[in-house]
Structure 1
Amino acid sequence: MNSAATSSSPAPALPACGVITGRNSTLLWGMSSSERLNRCLKRAGVPEVRTADRLGDLVGGTVLVLSNDWVFDVSIVIGLAKRPGTLVIDPLSRRPVAAHVDAGLVLATIALLNDGSGTLPGHIERLGPEEVSGTYNHELRKKESPYLLELTPETRAAVERRMFNGSYKGVTDFVTKFWWPRPAEVVTRWCSHLGLSPNMVTTIGAIGVVYSFWAFWHGHYISGLASGWIMTFLDTVDGKLARVTLTSSKWGNVFDHGIDLVHPPFWWWAWIVGLAAYGTPSEYATLALWIIVAGYVVQRILEGIFEWLFGMHVHVWRPFDSFFRLITARRNPNLVILTPLALLGRPDVGILLVALWTALSLLVHAVQIVQGLAARRRAPITSWLAA
């Protein structure tokens, strides 16, 4: 067999640089449009960014040109960086807004994007944003059209709302999905205008994690829950702030997700220890602790096994799996169980119900793996969101 025929095609070379053309003074999440476009280009792996009046010795290679009058979903810029010979057209106005062209065509492209006076050769492919980036966002686990929005003082509020909505995961728990969006949008805007970084918000949340552990341990359930709920809210804000401002980092991702992954079992352990101090000890406390902690760890392991076996997260396989992520025994749904029972003075009953729900959730995850293996024998399995 010819080895050349079986090897994969080399990935297209990234643009030699990016060019931002036009002037736009409208601020977006506390930053200029050009600053955000710079961050988009950096995410796309473009090594250098210039303005249209600073082309200088630009020769050879390809160039990615973006109009400063438009707000691009970062997936469009990433997709365009991989498609030389492409012009992106806004599907509503039919106006050209971005292009990836040879260096010799940069001036014509700038004129075309600025006022329509430039022309490009016929071999340049004209595509809409969905054709450039696709509609399935693997990172956020959702199927959604990428946004491409004109930025003016009049459209700024609507643009920010669309960007915030686009920053949300499609598959998550019901508290994050249905309770937090509107208040989180307000607080995210405050943070962006105050210059707070996502890591600063995560740090404040981490303080809440520690206080809730202490409060639960000593039977102070109401104050611990108040702190815990604030932490869960800030856990939504820091991620959204990172996405709308394009300020996420490897360290921030490890910091945020590391806290999310580690702290829940410690909270439930502290809750059980605090039952005696509160005056409601339970003879089933030790059993409940083992079920909750072991169930949490094994559930995470099962999710990892599913992803290893089938190349996707278990919660994006079928509509049921995405629905079950809303309510599965994770931190936020568990807090929904614990809060009303703590308010009623029965934290012991609340933690026993959490143990029961953890066991049932673990059973569901085990069945999902068995079902996946059976389904794969008939045909390769794919996410219903990517269909």
Structure 2
Amino acid sequence: MSDVVDHAWTDEGDLVESAGPPIARILGACPVPLWGMSSAERLTRSLRRAGVAEVQPWTGAVDLGHRHLLVRDDHVFDAVLIADLARARNLVLTTEAGRPVAAAVDADKAEEAAALLTEGGAIPEGLRAVAPGALSSAYNNALRKREAPYLLPLTAETLPAVERRMFAGSYKGVTDLVTKYVWPAPALRVTRWCAQRGITPNAVTWLSLALVLLAMAAFWHGWFLSGLAMAWGMTFLDTVDGKLARVTLTATKLGNVFDHGIDLVHPPFWYWAWIVGLGAVGLPLADAWLVLSVVVGGYILQRLQEGLFIALFKLEIHIWRRFDSWFRLITARRNPNLILLTIGALVGRPDVGMLAVAWWTVASLLVHTVQIVQALGARRSGPLQSWLAR
């Protein structure tokens, strides 16, 4: 849903909260499959997620009791465009080149709007043409990024580029350096493979949970390199399941809780198992319990700091300023810590890798503490705002 539409546009223009939910009609029969489904099926899912209960093919019949949302299925619409169209009135959405591809109109304009979308011509009187950037904001708070909403023609030739753009659109803008720079290319291929075979995001999450447990068992016995292979595999699947859910519009509240619950809980168990494994290979830490307390306690405190920041400032700590977003790339969370552990294991010093994680956890805690103190001072001048929204 749009994060910026919070007002009623005028009848001459666009968006009204009082007009009630529209009914949707899909025009065309695009034969190109998209993420393992027809374009019409994906549009139907998108429309229903936007609160449009009735979605059917256009037959020419008009229901006088409803606003009509008319959409061509030979184009792919960013979810924010569909969400804002569902709340719009007397609008024709065009591509940047000016081609009409969707309309949100009262019933008395539905036939004219349908003719415009299928046959072309002049914009009917009383309707206003808008491009994607004029309809929806480029700022996406949920994905922590600023990115123009996409509206793309769908053909057999454009399909690879369309899926790449949709996949990129499903990515969070502020995340760790591995997720941001290493995983996108292979994750796109695996996400496409899963979508084409009907593999669900929850199935991928179950596999990642299995890898969590196997990695922990390997670390416990001191099999660090094999454990790291499984741990990195888990982090990769953690990228795939979320992207698969977003591009196929199959995300559920239960699946989200399942995925994020695993993400939240498992890292301390990995660190505990690693420290136990050091003893198994003859490299026990002299202050093992102190190190474990620092790493696990620091992980918990960082999570609490993030929650405190949201409670105090109604904003995520990692999207306040440019520095905060940059620091999220390397802060002592799972993937950056795995880098330190991997380097330690590769050079034959997994104990030094764990000590590096402990020191980096302390440093990251200090950085986050300074961020909170600075935010308390900045709030005196007014509410905090993400640099991405400015």
Q: Same fold (TM over 0.5)?
A: yes
Number of the residue aligned with 1:3: none
User: Structure 2 vs 1, CA of residues 307 and 13 (structure 1 numbering), >3 Å: closer, same or farther?
Assistant: farther
Number of the residue aligned with 1:81: 86
Please say if residues 76 and 151 of structure 2, whose CA atoms lie closer than 8 Å, have aligned partners that are also in contact: yes
User: Structure 2 vs 1, CA of residues 103 and 163 (structure 1 numbering), >3 Å: closer, same or farther?
Assistant: same
Alignment of 1:1-387 (within 5 A): 11-53=17-59, 56=61, 58-91=63-96, 93-117=97-121, 119-122=123-126, 124-387=127-390
| Deviation sequence 1:139-181 (CA, Å, 0-9, x none) | 1000000100000111111111111111111000000000011
Distance 2:107 2:276 in 1: 67
SS in 2 for 1:28: coil
- 1:118 Cα offset (Å): 7.3
Distance 1:150 1:360 in 2: 48
Please say if residues 15 and 100 of structure 1, whose CA atoms lie closer than 8 Å, have aligned partners that are also in contact: no
Distance 1:118 1:352 in 2: 69
| Deviation sequence 1:170-205 (CA, Å, 0-9, x none) | 000000000011111111111111110111111111
- 1:13 Cα offset (Å): 4.1
SS in 1 for 2:56: strand
**Aligned-residue RMSD, C-alpha:** 1.5
| Partner amino acid, structure 2, of 1:101 | V
| Deviation sequence 1:324-381 (CA, Å, 0-9, x none) | 0000000000000000211222111111110110111111111111100101112332
| Deviation sequence 1:17-72 (CA, Å, 0-9, x none) | 1110111001111111101100110111101101112x656221211111111100
- 1:90 Cα offset (Å): 0.8
Distance 2:297 2:70 in 1: 52
SS in 2 for 1:19: strand
Matched residues, number? 377
| Partner amino acid, structure 2, of 1:72 | F
Number of the residue aligned with 1:5: none
- Identity among equivalent pairs (%): 56
| Partner amino acid, structure 1, of 2:241 | D
SS in 2 for 1:154: coil
Number of the residue aligned with 1:4: none
- 1:125 Cα offset (Å): 2.7
Q: Which runs of 5+ in 2 are unaligned?
A: 1-6, 9-15
- 1:217 Cα offset (Å): 1.2
Distance 1:321 1:117 in 2: 49
- 1:14 Cα offset (Å): 4.1
Please say if residues 62 and 107 of structure 2, whose CA atoms lie closer than 8 Å, have aligned partners that are also in contact: no
- 1:121 Cα offset (Å): 2.2
User: Structure 2 vs 1, CA of residues 128 and 230 (structure 1 numbering), >3 Å: closer, same or farther?
Assistant: same
SS in 2 for 1:282: coil
Distance 1:316 1:36 in 2: 31
Distance 1:212 1:119 in 2: 60
| Partner amino acid, structure 2, of 1:267 | W
| Partner amino acid, structure 2, of 1:89 | T
Please say if residues 14 and 81 of structure 1, whose CA atoms lie closer than 8 Å, have aligned partners that are also in contact: no
SS in 2 for 1:327: coil
Distance 1:318 1:353 in 2: 27
- 1:225 Cα offset (Å): 0.5
| Deviation sequence 1:109-136 (CA, Å, 0-9, x none) | 11111121575223x2321112222100
Distance 2:49 2:115 in 1: 26
- 1:307 Cα offset (Å): 0.9
> Structure 1-normalised TM-score?
0.94
SS in 2 for 1:27: coil
User: Structure 2 vs 1, CA of residues 223 and 287 (structure 1 numbering), >3 Å: closer, same or farther?
Assistant: same
SS in 2 for 1:248: coil
Distance 2:166 2:388 in 1: 20
Deviant stretches of 4+, over 4 Å:
none
Distance 1:36 1:232 in 2: 28
Please say if residues 191 and 243 of structure 2, whose CA atoms lie closer than 8 Å, have aligned partners that are also in contact: yes
Please say if residues 209 and 227 of structure 1, whose CA atoms lie closer than 8 Å, have aligned partners that are also in contact: yes
Distance 1:270 1:99 in 2: 57
Please say if residues 15 and 46 of structure 1, whose CA atoms lie closer than 8 Å, have aligned partners that are also in contact: yes
| Partner amino acid, structure 2, of 1:31 | M
Distance 1:59 1:384 in 2: 45
Q: Which runs of 5+ in 1 are unaligned?
A: 1-7
| Deviation sequence 1:266-313 (CA, Å, 0-9, x none) | 110111111111210011211110011111111111111111111111
> Structure 2-normalised TM-score?
0.94
Distance 1:18 1:153 in 2: 25
Distance 1:334 1:221 in 2: 14
| Partner amino acid, structure 2, of 1:59 | L
Distance 2:244 2:261 in 1: 18
